[in-house]
Structure 1
């Protein structure tokens, strides 16, 4: 079966991005860097493309110029086992970026992430519709997901 590798288009800050992402995620590394040659495009020696691995998932990045920007139409979901993991990834990825709603954020490069605890799915899929609705409403009022607040909402339903 062929491998599928997400490819990310950066303006001219790919090297900074790959170093940032590999510092945030465990078991991550820069696999290969391709630099521009005399044949171009751009200045010889500049980073043109790279492959990097984030906790086992391989990505490709290119410095393609300002033609395309990231949008929320594509995001990466980080499944977290508990609030400590939610806080860790949220705090690092939102640094220099911007918060959105319901666990979504944009990092400093404009890439969208969803930082979601596994407990969220349990709460919004509770077999008791009142509990599921209360948890969902609580989530809608959040930026970063706070598990305890969702659990409290479900318990008080």
Structure 2
């Protein structure tokens, strides 16, 4: 069976990042913490890889120096069921990081995230061009996304 997963490359923070993400995102769990065996470059017995799931999706965090760094060119998207969940996930991921625009943030490890309500893709696939345009105009004024404001923009006359 063919499978797809995400690999995040850190210098030394793989385990801390994995634990932080699993605490922030519902339905997530640490799998294995794999330590560097002897004979492999790096300090023996330090964390080399961490396997975990984020909302059921498999992820590998890997420690190796120097990491190439993260950019907004690739981001992780968390789709939240309601505003309360979105607010909680946003706050947890943002801790020590930097808020950006339109539901984007950079976490304290430099990873780019999009934290979106389930309403956003639903509204962008529904209605007519004017409704979708109002949703996008509302979104462009937001940092953290307000699902009720998106719904109001969609239904405005």
Tell me the TM-score normalised to structure 2 length. Answer: 0.90
Q: Which residue of 2 aligns with 1:14?
A: 14
Distance 1:42 1:28 in 2: 29
Q: Deviations over 1:55-87 (max 9, x none)?
A: 211111110113410111111111112111211
Distance 1:155 1:139 in 2: 14
Distance 1:123 1:28 in 2: 27
Distance 2:156 2:2 in 1: 48
Q: Which residue of 1 aligns with 2:81?
A: 81
Q: Which residue of 1 aligns with 2:91?
A: 91
Q: Deviations over 1:99-144 (max 9, x none)?
A: 1111111111111111111212233344233322122101001111
Structure 2 alignment gaps of length 5 or more = none
Alignment root-mean-square deviation, CA: 1.7
Structure 1 alignment gaps of length 5 or more = none
**Does structure 1 retain, via aligned residues, the 8 Å contact 2:15–2:61?**
no
Q: Which residue of 2 aligns with 1:124?
A: 124
Identify which range, 84-93 or 121-130, moves more after superposition: 121-130
**Does structure 1 retain, via aligned residues, the 8 Å contact 2:9–2:67?**
no
Give the count of matched residue pairs. 157
1:110-149 maps to which residues of 2 (within 5 A)?
110-149=110-149
Tell me the TM-score normalised to structure 1 length. Answer: 0.90
